[in-house]
Amino acid sequence: MPSLLPLRPPRPRISRRALLGGAAIAGAAGLLTAFADHLDADSLADTVPWQSSAGTTLTFLSENTAPTAAIAAHLEPFTELTGIRVRIVTLKLSALARRVARDIDSREGAYDVVYADPYLVLAPYASAFTDLREFEDDGAMPHLAGGFRDFIPTHLDAAGRFEDDTTVLALPYDCPTMVWQYRADLFTKHRARMADDLGFDPTPAENTTWEQYYAIARWFNDQTDEVRYGTGHQANRHDSLMCDFSNLLWSYGGDYFLDGSRVGRLGTQDPGTCQLRSAAAVEGAAFYQRLLKIADPGSRTWDWDGLGAAFRAGRIAMCPNWHEYAASNEAALPGKVGYARLPKGPVRSAGMYGGTGIAISNLVPARRRKAAWLFLNWATAPRTQLAVLASKVGGGTPTRGSVYAMPRVTAAERRPSPMPTMLSTRAVRQVWDPQNIGLRPKIPLWAECDTAIYDELSGMLAGDTSPAGAMRAAADRVDRITARGQADRP
């Protein structure tokens, strides 16, 4: 059964976008103290447009994430401002995608606002969502503070658009991104000895390579007992394995499809032939296999949550993982963790982006869509994002550039930080640059392709096939899936 918020806070669970570990979603009841002023002052200069849908009750279907828990805990000011009540239904992401599919197939229009995962929801069902320019261009509706341009451009494209760069189908809502997380205390303690042994400064830097990462991991394996292993990975037979591997694939110059940047940024119905058979993809897979051989053996049983727990427990010295673990890292290892952009491969550095936007269903009547716009506007407003970031839930990372210029946010990038997620800001904002961001294909059948990829990678890590064999088998399966998708199109 879905949970209907507000109610007692949900227990933490495995989710790519939840702020995992510790009390990530616990304690939501007291997390916000003052939502009344979360909209920018100019947005409230005229409250009449905000009252245009008074008396409406909206239904918001969301994955169970920290931003949603934060907003659900204190909706009263939104209701006071607008006269709109919001019913929030939370589900696991896979169940949410199924629920959206049923709603669209039945044409019921049960959900006004939808957490539109780019790969499971937006790409397969893009036509079911409203172009948000309709409301931003409507002189009778409240406009976004800062407009669409205030959203980080790579977020707006990856989480908000499909196939063309003019329509906006969703507003960026969350933005987990993979970065290098490392025990800064151990790197500092052993820096001189590591540099002598390795022949380079081990401190994570712009030009650190994956080969150097490998050498650092081996050094920790062999030269110190303070951690059991130098590196750990999220290499369970799961979506996490595809995410972990993709960082290497892109860094070696490989990709899933031709023009992978555009396929990931804007998406497409027809991605063409899978490119995993390429020499670059095979080289990336071979390095990944070699890296996992020296990683903590637990890696093959961990997803992102298991990896995060192992890092916080002091079992490993470093790992690639979602940046939003910074809050739980700081709680477990205060002052001991550093963050950097992931290492470079032969071609570039790349870090997986996992953000999602919130969208308005076009199955609901026009009057309800207008009410839904008021909620989207409010839920993604800069001051609302600031409040979510500062919440005791763990803090959803802002998707608006203006939030990062706020003095409170800038100050929080240094310890002691009241917003520990911001300790990873420098690294994660580097990853969001177009040349560094890693974007999986935004295509309608990506969920099936994802399974094919991590199945074959898992077999490679188990020794059942070679890197070339795994890439070839994955490409064959992906091509069959996308060909079927083209045959099924009307």
Determine the Cα–Cα distance for residues 160 and 442; give it in Å rounded to an integer: 11
Length of the chain in terms of residues written: 490
Query: Per-residue DSSP letters for 129-162?
Result: B--THHHHT-TTSPPPTT-GGGB-HHHHHHHH-S
Residue 58 phi/psi, 5-degree rounding, is -100, 155
Domain parsing of the chain, residue ranges? 3-176+354-405, 178-352+437-488
User: Which 3-state string (H, E, C) describes 397-440?
Assistant: CCCEHHHHHCHHHHHCCCCCCCCHHHHHHHHHHHHCCCCCEECC
CA distances from 29 to 74, 262, 402 (A): 8, 41, 28
Report yes or no: 381 and 43 within 8 Å, Cβ to Cβ.
yes
Report yes or no: 64 and 10 within 8 Å, Cβ to Cβ.
yes
CATH number of this structure's domain 3-176+354-405: 3.40.190.10
Q: What is the reported pLDDT for 393?
A: 64
Q: What is the reported pLDDT for 486?
A: 86
Would 3-176+354-405 and 178-352+437-488 be classified into the same CATH topology? yes
The residues near 397 (Cβ < 8 Å, ≥ 6 apart) are 174, 175, 176, 323, 324, 389, 421, 428
Most distant CA pair in the chain: distance in Å?
A: 70
Q: Which CATH architecture has domain 178-352+437-488?
A: 3-Layer(aba) Sandwich (3.40)
pTM confidence score: 0.90
Q: What is the reported pLDDT for 40?
A: 53
Question: pLDDT tens string for the chain (490 positions)?
Answer: 343 333 222 223 334 444 333 333 333 333 333 343 444 544 555 678 999 999 999 999 999 988 898 898 879 889 999 999 999 999 999 999 999 999 999 999 999 999 999 999 999 999 999 999 999 999 999 999 999 999 999 999 999 999 999 999 999 999 999 999 999 999 999 999 999 999 999 999 999 999 999 999 999 999 999 999 999 999 999 999 999 999 999 999 999 999 999 999 999 999 999 999 999 999 999 999 999 999 999 999 999 999 999 999 999 999 999 999 999 999 999 999 999 999 999 999 999 999 999 999 999 999 999 999 999 999 999 989 998 898 876 568 999 999 999 999 999 999 999 999 999 999 999 999 999 999 999 999 999 999 999 999 999 999 999 999 999 999 999 999 999 988 877 7
